[in-house]
A and B are shown apart, each in its own frame.
Chain A
Amino acid sequence: MAPNALAAVDERGGKTASRSLDLEAGGLSVSLEVDSVSLMADAQERYAPFLTRSPAAYRLGLDVVPSNALERDGWTPSVSREGRFLRCRSPLFSWRIDRASGRGRGALKPTAQALDGVLRTLFAGLSPFEDRLLLHAAAVAVRGKGYLFVGPSGAGKTTLSSYLARIPGVRVLTDELVLVGEESDRLVLFGTPFWGEFRPPQRRGWAPLAGLFFLAKSRMGTRIETLDFARAHSSLLKCLVAFHRDRGMLERSWEMVLALLRARPARRLAWRKGDPPEAVLKAVEEAAPFQSIGGGCPGLQYSGSRGAP
């Protein structure tokens, strides 16, 4: 259990539970403090592999509010920037955080969905400032290499993840949201606490990026096609998890998308369920032989951008 100054007795089971949730994924660490023992007990269990004892860079105190306290039009959360503050509004929760101090306050309805929404929007909102990309994608690690499978909802991320997971030695990092960042001059895929339907025993994991694939369904068996840069870039941009409407934040994320594609050319993986998982994995590995990229890697820094004006 994470260290917590707000330990309390759980009204349901009489166990000592925490009112804080300290999570880390991809080097991005957040701490939520919520005055609801039952809600936090569920969250501690749900996000267990991503709990951390290290001090979080961002801390958010959340008040639990009645169901009708956060009504607003629309259902999509939106993150906006107000100077050094980031602000998020949604029908289920709202928060405001000072990026300089890392402290913030907010409110949420007493549901697991609202808490999950707070975490997703926090990770999405903060990632551009932490040199991270949050993508709708699945990621698997095998033989020390990471493969990124990108696609919107319904593209087959969960299906492919569960399919490849049948192969001994394949580890699914996530089937829904991936953080991509640069570590020690390498592009790295990080698992996140956010999963789709496929929920194997989760562990926090990462792997250096070896290949990037857009998913497509096939009637003719597994095949891999190259994608031109412009098309791949627009497809990847559409899979960016960005609740923000802020131009500057989107510009930063856009630069990172371009840098990622310069480092790892995108391919299209068309496959069907009838193909042996080993054959799918073999095609993936052969299409993207791992190359360690050392100093001078384009990485995800915000330097000049080849290919852009």
Chain B
Amino acid sequence: MKYSRRVAQRVIDGQAFVLDTKEQELHSLNPSGSRIWELAGRGGTPEKIARALADEFEVDYRRALCDVKGFLEKLRTLGLMEDR
């Protein structure tokens, strides 16, 4: 997946802020959401992102993978990310 063309984004003090320029909505992501956003933007697969989260946060891989997939789907639904 990749960031949608309508999105402007910044990571400030480790927190991702995503501005939907079409809807003019500012989304602020929590630490794990920010990390998923960052890794997904680099082309990370859900599996790679989940492994990174399992390393960095106190969460097991299977739970992380489920959360990552759900979060990416939410970002896609909001129009903030799209398929490459």
Contact = CB atoms under 8 A, between A and B. Distances in A.
B5 A254 contact: no
Contacts of A308: 10-12
Interface residues of B, number: 16
Nearest to A307: B12
A304 to B, nearest CB: 13
A254 B12 contact: no
A307 B10 CA distance: 9
Interface size class of A (residues with CB under 8 A): 10 to 19
B8 A251 contact: yes
Interface string B1-42: 000011110111101010101101010100000000000000
Contacts of A309: 10-11
Contact of B12 (A229, A238, A247, A251): A229
Nearest to A246: B21
Provide the main secondary structure of the chain A interface.
helix
Contacts of B5: 247
Contact of A258 (B8, B10, B19): B10
B19 A237 contact: yes
Provide the main secondary structure of the chain B interface.
strand
Interface in A278-309: 307-309
A308 B6 CA distance: 19
A247 B59 CA distance: 36
Interface string A234-260: 100110001001110011001000100
A181 to B, nearest CB: 21
A246 B11 CA distance: 20
Interface of B: 5-8, 10-13, 15, 17, 19, 21-22, 24, 26, 28
Contacts of A258: 10, 12
A165 B19 CA distance: 37
Contacts of A250: 8, 19, 21
A247 B21 contact: yes
B8 A254 contact: yes
Contacts of A234: 17, 26, 28
A229 B28 CA distance: 13
B17 A247 contact: no
A1 interface: no
Given A234-B26, A238-B26, A228 B21 contact: no
B17 A233 contact: yes
A276 to B, nearest CB: 37
A230 B12 contact: yes
B8 A247 contact: yes
B12 A242 contact: no
Given A237-B26, A238-B26, A247 B6 contact: yes
Contacts of A228: 13
Contact of B13 (A238, A245, A246, A307): A307
Given A234-B17, A247-B8, 20 more contacts: A229-B13, A230-B12, A230-B13, A230-B28, A233-B17, A237-B19, A237-B26, A246-B21, A247-B7, A247-B21, A250-B8, A250-B19, A250-B21, A254-B8, A258-B12, A307-B12, A307-B13, A308-B11, A308-B12, A309-B11
